[in-house]
Structure 1
Amino acid sequence: MITIAKNEQYSLKVDITKNRAFLKINGFWRNKEDIPGYLQDWNEAINKLSKGFTLLTDATDMTIHPGDVRDVHSKAQEKIVKAGVKKVAELHGENVASMQLDGVSNESGMPKKNFNDRTKAESWLDS
């Protein structure tokens, strides 16, 4: 497992053997200045993965984000889709945050499914 980024807002790791990225979103991001390296971190992660990679996003601790942060999520998802992601499993906690993430994913065409159980999410990604 290679750690691309780990800070108060998120962690992003890749497992080259599984061809999978792991994103953990932490709490509330006030504005895009809270996450200045987020898109660059995604570029680095994508460069280490092959087309057809999968992504496990853990949003269980995420709270709803403001509009400018939503735009950053959207840009990241566009990069991920363009790079050839096969499947995305999202772990959710708070319903409002999951509704926001679902909206962004619908706009970007992200091939994702929501889960409440990490084992089931990883099993789905492995299938």
Structure 2
Amino acid sequence: MQEIAKTEFYTIAVDLPKNRLYQTIKGSWVRPVKGDPYLQDFEKAAKLLKKGFTGLSDATQISVMSQEWTEAAQKTRQILIEAGISKAAEVLSESVILKMQVQRIFRQAGFTMKFFSNLQEAEAWLDGKE
């Protein structure tokens, strides 16, 4: 696993042999996106992978997502599509509001997307072991 970026709000890494992008987001995402390196870090990671890659996002540690971060999530969706993602798993907390926000963003993702409540199930699905 190769770590691309690690901040107090996110970690982005890639597993080149698995051809997978990993993201963990945490805390309260309420600050503005302008000037934040998140999108650049995300794009850098996606460019390291081959077309047909998979993605696993762990959002179990996020408490609040502002409108600015919702817009950033929509931009990450576009980065994933342009980089050639085949499918993605999103692990969410039990927060109903957060689930609704994330599901709305990825409703028309343009790739296969599935939501999970634990990382092991998400990883197994991406590995085709479900």
Identity %: 35
Alpha-carbon distance between aligned partners in 1 of 2:35 and 2:60, rounded to the nearest angstrom = 18
Q: Report matched runs for 1:1-12 at 5 Å.
A: 1-12=1-12
Counterparts of residues 100-119 of structure 1 (less than 5 Å): 100-119=101-120
Give the TM-score, by structure 2 length: 0.90
Q: Distance in 2 between matches of 1:59 and 1:30?
A: 15
Deviations along 1:93-114, one digit per CA (max 9) or x if unpaired, are 1221121111111144342101
Contact 1:19 1:53 (C-alpha < 8 Å) held by counterparts: yes
Give the TM-score normalised by structure 1.
0.92
Worse overlay, 7-16 or 27-36: 27-36
> How much does 1:34 deviate?
7.9
Q: Which has the higher helix share?
A: 1
Question: Considering only aligned residues, what root-mean-square deviation do their CA atoms show, in Å?
Answer: 1.5
Contact kept, 8 Å, 1:19 with 1:50, in 2: the verdict is yes
Residue 63 of structure 2 corresponds to which residue in structure 1?
Answer: 63
Measured in 1, the distance between the counterparts of 2:116 and 2:14 equals 20
Matched, 1:87 2:87: yes
Number of aligned positions between the proteins: 127
CA deviation after TM superposition for structure 1 residue 117, in Å: 2.0
Deviations 1:11-69 (A, max 9, x none): 00000000001100101111234870011101210111000100110010112311111
Q: Secondary structure at the match of 1:17?
A: coil
In 2 relative to 1, CA 110–27 (structure 1 residues): closer, same or farther, beyond 3 Å? farther
